[in-house]
Each structure stands twice: as C-alpha cells, then as structure tokens.
Structure 1
Amino acid sequence: MIHECWAQSTKEYESVRAFLKKHDLEFEPQASDTILIYDDENLVGSGSLDEGVLKCIAVASDRQGEGLLGTILTALVKRANERDFRHLFIYTKPKNEKLFKPFAFYPIAATESVLLMENRRHGIKTFVKSLPGQRSGVVGSIVMNANPFTLGHRYLVEQALQQVDELQVFVLSSAKSIVPPAARLRLVREGCADLDRVYVQDSSNYLVSSATFPTYFLPKDTVAEANAGLDIRIFIDYFAKELKITKRFLGTEPLSPITDSYNREMLALLPSEGVEVIVLQRKETQGEVISASRVRALMQQGNVEQVRPLVPDSTYQYLASEEGRRLFYTEKT
C-alpha cells in the first residue's frame, strides 16, 4: 500500500541518501522538507524542497510510470505554497526535461549535468525585459549578496562606475542570509542613492540562488569548487544579452573559498561570451578587508559601535535599530 510522509529522523534521511545514490543523485542537506513515498516498508520515491526549488526527485526504476512522480510534485508544491513560495523551480538532470513538462514546468537553462525549469512560461524573459536601464553605451554589472551592505560594497560600485556608462547592481533574493532580502535590497539602494547611472535591481532568484547555484549556500568548508556553470549560463543568456552588459566586476576574495572558486569560473567562461571580467581590489581599513562577514561577526559579538566605520550611515542605522539587533541576537542564540 502506497503512503507518504515527511522525513524527520536521521534514519529517514540516511534512507533518502542511499535511495538517491542509486539514481546518481546527491542529497542536498540545505533542503527544508523531504517527502518520502513508501510501498509498505519499501522507499519507492522521494523529493525535496529548498526555498522555492524542487530537487533531489527520484522514483524507483521499477515503479516509474505509476503516477508517483505526480504524487511527489503535488506534495512539494503544496508545501512550497504553505511556505509562501509561488514562483517554483525544478533543479534536475537535462534528460528529465520531458518528465516535468507535463506538470507545467518550462526550461530556463542547462549545462551538461544540470537543468533548471520554472513554473512560469517565459518567466525569466519577462522579468529581465522589465528591468530598468538604458541598454546603451558601456554597461557593467555587479552581483552582490550585501549581507549587509558595507563601505566595501560601496567602494566596488564607485570603482566600477568609473569604467562604464551604466552600472547594473543585482542584489540576491535568497532568504538564507541573516539580513532579509527586502532589507538588503533597500540598504543597497539607500547606500547608492547619490550615484547617477547606477540601477540597483532585485535578482528574483535568477542569479546566485538556491535554484541556480545551491552550493553557494552550503557551509564554506563543505565545498571545494563552486560548480556555478548554470548560474553563469543564465547570466550570459538572459541578463547580459537583454541589458547589453559587456563588463562584470568582481571584488578580490580572500575570505570565502566558494566565492573565490565562483570568480575563477567567471574568469574562465565569460570572456569567450563577450563579457569582460574585471577584478577590483577590495577596500581595506586598518589592514583588514571591509567585508560583510566582518560586520556580521562584530554584530554577533554585540560590538555595534565598531561596525560604524565599516558601513554607510543607512546600514548602520538599520543594524543599530531594534530590528537589526534582533537579527543577530537570534542568530547568536
């Protein structure tokens, strides 16, 4: 008899890992929910949810064609909606595209090993076309998490702006960071409000997200390489193409191995696609790079005043507020 449940115990997660391994899939521990489909005591299907991304989906080879895939997708979509995720993605292998098309998922981009689909027809094209910008002259871009926005980020924007006619600054939309996405976007806009020719944009989960680049959100000591080919492909095929971006600016990355690996992948892939990659030296103070991780560490230690020289006034006011302090108090405890 078929029944379903949500994984909760270590034993259940180990069963999922072993089941997925038979299908050449790796379980991704950042998933918030994992559905298990059993026939009596036998695990015959599984799927996971990571923010609005459906992934790690597999059905036992001898049970395919029985509607179990639909059961898994229905459960995951329902759980995603309960968590207020309406724009959904599927992260899977390219060979599986035909399996998910009947469920109204449409392909966005693929590499040799990964395919990304979404539940909005022409969703990414519609989104990118809606972004403001002149789309003329020399257009550059920066992609940042800004968790939170610092004077180091501001310095990169200022340096990049000197080399372009228009600068597109994309702020990540993932909710996995300590500072919520809406606050991060607002702080970047406030921190760049006096700069002409700068467009600060929401990336809407299409750039460096749980959908396009899941390894970015794993603990930094668990991943050796970024494996960011899908994210880079999306940037090239949609953002650079529509917005006429010919330069992408990066800050040197002495602190995060995963970001450094991502930067190296961009240096290897973007120039052949007509996008020059320019690496800028990070701003320092007292011999240390100004970084968001440094700011977060100080906040978690309760050293709010030591944050002041590292961030714009708008960021400091937010971090010093009750809302800002609460974020780091919760994180610390």
Structure 2
Amino acid sequence: MSLIIETIDLESTERLQVEKFLSEFNLSLDKDVEQTIVAKIDGNIIGTCSCGGKVVKSFAVKKELQGEGIAAKLISRITNIMFDKGIFHTFIFTKPVNKHIFSELGYHEIFSTKDVTLLESSSDNIRRYIKTIKSQTSFGREDKAAIVMNCNPFTLGHRYLIERAACENETVIVFIVQEDKSSFPFDVRYKLVKEGIKDLNNVHVVSGGDYIISSNTFPSYFIKEEEHKDRAYKQLDAGIFGEYIATAFNIKRRYLGTEPYCSVTYGYNKVLAEILPGYGVEVKIIDRVTVDSKEVSASSVRKYIKEDNWKEIKKLVPETTYSFLLSSEARKIIDKIKGSELRH
C-alpha cells in the first residue's frame, strides 16, 4: 500500500472526483481555489487539500485514516506550493470542532465564533502587524475613532465620512482593505485615499493587512447556506477587530456609512453594532452624503465608468480621484471595468 500525493488539473474530470470525495464530508471545493492536491492509495482519493490566495481550504482525510500522518503530509505539500508562489504566511478557516487538527500541525488560533475558527501559520503575526502599523504612525494612547474602507474607488461619500469622524475625534485611523479583489488594486485605492484627505491632519491612513477580512476571502466549503456563511464571516471579522485592533490602538468609536444598496454591507453594519460595544467600541452609523438626491457610492462611479459618463463621475469623486481616472495610469483599470460585470 503506497501513498501518492499529486496535484490535479482543476479543468479536468479530476475536479469532479475531488468534489465527490469532499461531499462525503459535507464539504465543497471553493470556486476560487487555485491549486488542489490529493492523496491516493491504489488510485483512490483518501485525502485532499487546496489553496486560494493565502488560504488553505477544502481539506479532508478519510476518517479511518485520520491520525496516520496523511493530514500533515497534505498540509506540508500545499504549504510548499504556496511558498513557491511567495506566500509565507497562510491561514485556515475551519469549524471550531476541527481546530485541534490544525493546531497539531503548527497553526495558531486567532479567533473563534460559534461557527468558525481562523488560524494562521505563525503565533505572532497579528501582533507583528499591529507593531508595524504603530511604527509607521505618530499617534499615541489617546482615544481614537476608526473607519474601515475598501474605496473602490475613493468617492466624496468616503471623504464625507472621514471628515465627520475627523471633526468629532482627536485622532482617526482609516484602515484600507488590503485584499486585491476589487477593480482598483490596493496600492491605487490607498494612494487615492491618502491624496484625498491630506488636508485632514488628524487622520492616519493604514493598510488593513490580513486581519481586516474581506467577504471575498471567507470560504464557503464548510458552510453551505449563504445567509449562515455571511453571518459567520461578519461575526469573525467584528470579533478580530474588537479583540485585537480596537484594543491595541485604543479605538473607542467605529464609523460606518448607511448602506441603501448592498444587503451584505447592511447586514455587516448590523453585526458590528451588536458586537463592538462589547469591546468598548461605540458604533456610529452616518447617513450617506447625497448628490442629486442619490446616495454617493463607489458602485455608481464604476457604473458610470462603464457608461463613459464622465459628467456624472465628476459629481461623485474628489478632484484627486477624478484626475487619476483621467490619467494614463488608470487606463488599464478602466478598460477592465468596461470589459467586466459590475462588481459591488
């Protein structure tokens, strides 16, 4: 009986074989997996593991073979694949009942809710992230306000929310979602926010790193129901913010904008308002700024980009964003938006 571990072709019928194997565990193969490996004995799949971005996912080993070292071999192989891609810091989302499996393989728990546990491949990376942000800024231990933004792209609505927080607080930290699953890449979004608020001296713009979790990152392979998955993600993200980020930076307020269009964001705001007060963080939800009686949103800007409606775009964004959109640097992004479906 010889064990073979190999990479499969996700475009072939091998994918169907992995999906069938995972279904035995009530698991699925996430749509965004980039590579999948399988462990086989005599040609039969007895274990599998995948990765997408920095996340290890869709992991399972036949019950009768658990404890035989197959899990460690799969995790080691998928980690080496990720290392070869330059990914040295990896994450695993799993059910809390399974977290001991990954703890035994060297992963460290960051946070758990009733439905999900997030683990990472190092014991101090979240603290290292906090230390790095502190070293890059000049604020002290004063009470602070925080805003988490994607800014895809930066609009007058984002600017209004930041201005409001800046007027009401001594220091404001704006965390920009770092994950690059938006039309505008992180470095552009970060730059547009920095340029768009440079007159607000008490505002610090920082990267959200790996710990401001995007719903795009959160896996669905072990939580099938979409509503259940969304709530689990929101509770996890809110808990990490309260437990680590709010505590480390002495954040006492978190500002949110009302969300008239996106039900996911509306639900996210609701969960934050339930959870963050338990960490001493007041949640302030501010009505969105309007132009021509319509709430300003980044999705509207992207819609007008697709339509080449520059007159309407100019109404919704600061001059700094508008100038960027007209520049040659933005050409590739605009072409991509025009050639794809509108992403919220």
Q: Which residue does the alignment assign to 2:158?
A: 153
Deviates more, 1:189-198 or 1:38-47: 38-47
User: Contact 1:4–1:35 at 8 Å: present in 2 too?
Assistant: yes
Amino acid at match of 2:22: L
Q: Which amino acid aligns with 2:132?
A: S
Q: Deviations over 1:284-333 (max 9, x none)?
A: 11122111111112222333453222112222222222231212313433
Compute the TM-score of the two structures, normalised by the length of structure 2.
0.87
Q: Which residue in 2 is equivalent to 1:171?
A: 176
| Identity of matched residues, % | 34
Residue 320 of structure 1 aligns with which residue? 326
Q: Which residue in the other structure is 2:85 paired with?
A: 83
Query: Is structure 2 residue 111 aligned with structure 1 residue 106?
Result: no
The verdict on how the C-alpha distance between 1:123 and 1:198 changes in structure 2, with shifts beyond 3 A counting, is: same
Alignment TM-score, normalising by the size of structure 1: 0.89
Post-superposition offset of 1:201? 0.8
User: More deviation in 196-205 or 20-29?
Assistant: 20-29
Aligned mates of 1:249, 1:28 — CA distance in 2: 32
Q: How does 1:287-302 map to 2 (within 5 A)?
A: 287-302=293-308
Partner deviation per Cα, 1:163-182 (whole Å, 9 max, x = no partner) = 21111110001011111111
Does the Cα contact within 8 Å between 1:206 and 1:212 map onto a contact in 2? Answer: no
How far residue 212 of structure 1 moved from its aligned partner, in angstroms, is 6.8
Quote how far apart the aligned CAs of 1:214 are: 4.8
Structure 2: how far apart are the matches of 1:254 and 1:210?
18
Number of residues of Structure 1 aligned to a counterpart in Structure 2 = 328
What are the Cα deviations for residues 261-282 of structure 1, in whole angstroms up to 9, with x where unaligned?
A: 1111111111222111110011
Q: Tell me the distance in 2 between the aligned counterparts of 1:257 and 1:12.
A: 36
Q: Does 1:203 align with 2:205?
A: no
**Aligned in 2, Cα 1:76/1:313: closer, same or farther, shift over 3 Å?**
farther
Deviation digits for residues 3-52 of structure 1, max 9, x if unmatched?
42234137444443443333243433233333233334422212221211
Q: Secondary structure at the match of 2:180?
A: coil
Residues 37 and 74, structure 2, Cα contact 8 Å, conserved in 1: yes
Q: Matched residues in 2 for 1:16 and 1:60: separation?
A: 12
Q: Which segment drifts farther, 179-188 or 113-122?
A: 113-122
Query: Separation in 2 of the partners of 1:66 and 1:185?
Result: 47
- For 1:283 and 1:41, locate their aligned partners in 2 and report how far apart those are by CA, in whole Å: 61
- What amino acid maps onto 1:329 in structure 2? D
Change (3 A) 1:241 1:107: same
Unmatched 5+ residue regions in structure 2? Answer: 221-225, 340-344
Map of 1:187 onto structure 2: 192
Q: What is the match of residue 273 of structure 1?
A: 279
Letter in 2 for 1:187: L
Residue in 1 that maps onto 2:60:
58
Identify the residue that residue 259 of structure 1 maps to in structure 2: 265
Which shows bigger deviation, 316-325 or 262-271?
316-325
Amino acid at match of 2:27: L
Instruction: Report how far residue 59 of structure 1 moved.
Output: 0.9
Q: Which amino acid aligns with 2:107?
A: F
Amino acid at match of 2:113: T
Q: Deviations over 1:84-123 (max 9, x none)?
A: 3222112122233333235432221111221111122211
Question: What is the root-mean-square deviation in Å for CA atoms of aligned residues?
Answer: 2.4
Unaligned runs of 5+ in 1: 216-221
Measured in 1, the distance between the counterparts of 2:8 and 2:250 equals 45
Tell me if the contact between 1:97 and 1:115 (Cα under 8 Å) persists in the aligned partners. yes
